[in-house]
Chain A
Amino acid sequence: MDRPHLKPDFAVNPCFSKDRRRFIRKVLDGTIAGSLLLVIPAGAELPVIPEQIKGLRDKAYDIQKQQFAFIVDITRCIGCGSCCVADKREYNVPDGNYRTWVERYLKDYEDNVYVDSPNGGLDGYQEPRDDLDVKIRDTFFVPKLCNMCQEPSCVQVCPVGATFKTPDGFVLVDHKRCVGCAYCIQACPYSVRFLHPESKTADKCTWCYHRVRRGLLPACVDVCPTGARKFGDLNDAESEVAQILKGPGVLTVLKKEMGNWPALYYKGLRREVV
């Protein structure tokens, strides 16, 4: 296909030099005005992202008294992978490493269980498995993330205290202290940790601590279209998680026998899940 031969503007416009000066002046005016707006309050407040965890912004954050809960309701998970995408975008998680992932469980009529999690469920489970020649009786999805153990093995084994537990119940990693020995990766019963290929330090899900402290939900909870991931303040008796925890529904944790006392609860967890 022939393309029309385009000439630059200055070749056809005799007034180019005057236009150029005007253009440069406008750019400079805009830059100065924009910079001033940033340093001088203009009277109008910048838009604030609405609070998602109620009451956190109204008062000083008392780290000793705060208590949060994360509940995964697997009866609601549809395996769309939105949570994984949100997480990857929030933290720029390198390919092949996972702060969170979604597993797909299939069960046949012989009670055999088939589990997979291609690419950690990042692409969503859009197609059924075509590598199984069995009649499937049941299918369900299980999101996995840091269990924020009350007795975390990772904290116990870290030789330099780079992995630590905050008074408000979060297990975090100080990337400036971590020596990259990977002992925490060995010790975590849930395999939620990995060695970041760029920083060469341990990394894992934080339940989006930076968001929570600003009254925002973890990124994965925020985007979950079915409410399979729930997060909230236990000090707020009206919060959904507080209601679930005091309700009659059966909640359980992963690998209870490990004795780590996870703070991540599962609702409707099936016995096939490890």
Chain B
Amino acid sequence: MNSAHEGSAYLISNYVLPNDLHVHWSMMIVLYPYLSGLVDGAFIVAALYYVFGVQSLKPIARFSLIFALAFLLCVGLPLNLHLGRPERGLNMMVTPSPTSAMAGGGYLYGVTFLVLILLILFLYRIHLVMQQQQSQGLKKLFYQVLTFGSDNVSAEALALDKKVIRFLAALGIPVATVFHGYVGFLFGGVKANPSWSTPLMPVIFLFSACVSGISGIVLAYIVIKKIRKAAIDVACVRTLINTLYGFFILAFAFEMLEVFSHSYLRTGYHHMVEGLLNGPLHTSFWIWQVGICSFGPLLILSGLCLFKVRDGVLVVGGAIVSFILLLQVLFMRWNVIIGGQLISKSARGYTEFHPEWFDKEGIVAVVFVMAIPFILLFILSRIFPLWLENENQA
């Protein structure tokens, strides 16, 4: 064998450090940024209407916030399932270490939750006051708590509500951005991992979050309306698809930029990342994430956005492209989180990951965790109707 230099010879032995054989952050840590990303993207959709006044998104704005809340309520679940000592999980907030990025997560989550729940309560105030007035006993008490005991729906009070909603939605944009940027930074801040430690990581996570959230909203909206046999607002879907197109171009461009920057710089890190992407991740990265789930949607989105298509085509195409993009982001999370850990810190080899079925972080647990937000969405829709008869109530 004729090796030109040490770099190319590194991978000959495929030596994995003894403690690197096990992948410590497995599928639950893939789900964590996936769920929080859906929250983020859904919130952006709502903000486009409530802050920037994109009127065509009105039919979906309220639903987006409830969708975001259903997923936000579940974000902590995969994290706790992952912890070795989940009973100590809250210590991250009680006795946090100021130097740790992870210690900030609980607070950022708390702020995001507070902004979102307040926004929803103000948005649904008229509906909640009506419910409170029409109900009795415990149900009445429940609605009294949700309206903070106020049943003032005078014109002045509603005008103030509008201002508060606009303020909270505007505040929500930086909050949601920081929250998901932070999730990206959790990985980007690990200098020991060659495929994670890039300042682009929070940016990549942020844009892919927007892509997954918008896709989730489009798909859920179309599916729910189809199931209920209700009319789909095509103008709304068209705006969402256009927005999705823009965000996806940015997300995909940054994902590729990161790979090609490493590739062009050809540092020591590059040799490990190159070996990873062309080796253990070849199928899940190049074929699925980049090929099928990125170039495919780019073609479909180009068709839907750049050409005049019929409403039926837009709705079906929109649902399909949203589904593929939800997969794309899932593959992206998988390839970054599981993939990144396949690189041994020996810089000489790659380990393997074999998902378990019945582990607390196994495949069955993943299915359960992913099902819970949808159950919550159903429950929340009983309290906060996803679509009000009279949208002008707000």
Which A residues lie at the B interface, using CB under 8 A?
Answer: 96-98, 101, 103, 110-117, 120, 134, 144, 153, 155-161, 177-183, 185-195, 199-201, 258-259, 271-272, 274
Contact = CB atoms under 8 A, between A and B. Distances in A.
Contacts of A98: 18-19
The contact size tier of chain B is 35 or more
Contacts of B95: 160-161, 177
Nearest to A274: B347
Interface string B70-89: 00000000000011111011
A188 B1 contact: no
Nearest to A183: B102
A180 B84 contact: yes
B96 interface: yes
Contact of A201 (B85, B101, B105, B193): B85
A86 to B, nearest CB: 17
A101 B192 CA distance: 19
Given A158-B97, A195-B24, A113 B84 contact: no
A158 B190 CA distance: 12
A114 B12 contact: yes
Contacts, number: 144
In this complex, the member of B15, B101, B344 whose beta carbon has the largest number of chain A beta carbons within 10 angstroms is B15
B328 to A, nearest CB: 25
Nearest to A204: B19
B154 interface: no
Interface of B: 1-3, 6, 9-10, 12-13, 15, 17-22, 24-25, 82-86, 88-89, 91-92, 95-97, 99-103, 105, 186, 189-193, 341, 344-348
A111 B92 contact: no
Nearest to B89: A179
A182 B193 CA distance: 14
A157 B101 contact: yes
A144 B19 CA distance: 11
A186 B100 contact: no
Contact of B100 (A110, A113, A183): A183
A115 B97 CA distance: 38
A115 B348 contact: yes
Chain A contact residues: helix, strand, loop or mixed: loop
B24 A182 contact: yes
A113 B95 CA distance: 46
In this complex, the member of B22, B97, B347 whose beta carbon has the largest number of chain A beta carbons within 10 angstroms is B97
Contacts of B348: 113, 115, 274
B9 A194 contact: no
B19 A111 contact: no
Contacts of A155: 99
A186 B83 contact: no
B3 A110 contact: yes
B192 A160 contact: no
Contacts of A191: 17-20, 344-346
B332 to A, nearest CB: 18
A183 B15 CA distance: 23
Contacts of B96: 159-161
A110 B192 contact: no
A191 B193 CA distance: 11
Given A183-B102, A191-B344, A97 B19 contact: yes
B215 to A, nearest CB: 29
A116 B12 contact: no
Contacts of A120: 18
B92 A160 contact: yes
A115 B19 contact: no
A129 B83 CA distance: 39
In this complex, the member of A97, A103, A113, A144 whose beta carbon has the largest number of chain B beta carbons within 10 angstroms is A113
Given A153-B192, A177-B88, A187-B192, A113 B83 contact: no
A155 B186 CA distance: 15
A189 B192 contact: yes
Contact of B91 (A103, A179, A192): A179
B97 A159 contact: yes
A258 B346 contact: no
A111 B18 contact: no
Nearest to B17: A191
Contacts of A258: 191-192
A173 B85 CA distance: 14
Given A110-B3, A112-B1, A182 B25 contact: yes
Given A112-B9, A112-B12, A161-B97, A190 B85 contact: no
A40 B86 CA distance: 46
B85 A156 contact: no
B83 A180 contact: yes
B103 A159 contact: yes
A200 B192 contact: no
Nearest to A194: B19
Given A110-B2, A186-B192, A187-B190, A160 B88 contact: yes
19 contacts: A98-B19, A112-B12, A115-B13, A120-B18, A159-B92, A160-B88, A178-B85, A178-B88, A179-B86, A179-B91, A186-B25, A188-B192, A189-B191, A190-B345, A191-B344, A191-B345, A193-B19, A194-B22, A272-B6
Contacts of B1: 110, 112, 134
A189 to B, nearest CB: 4
A185 B341 CA distance: 11
Given A177-B91, A180-B84, A156 B6 contact: no
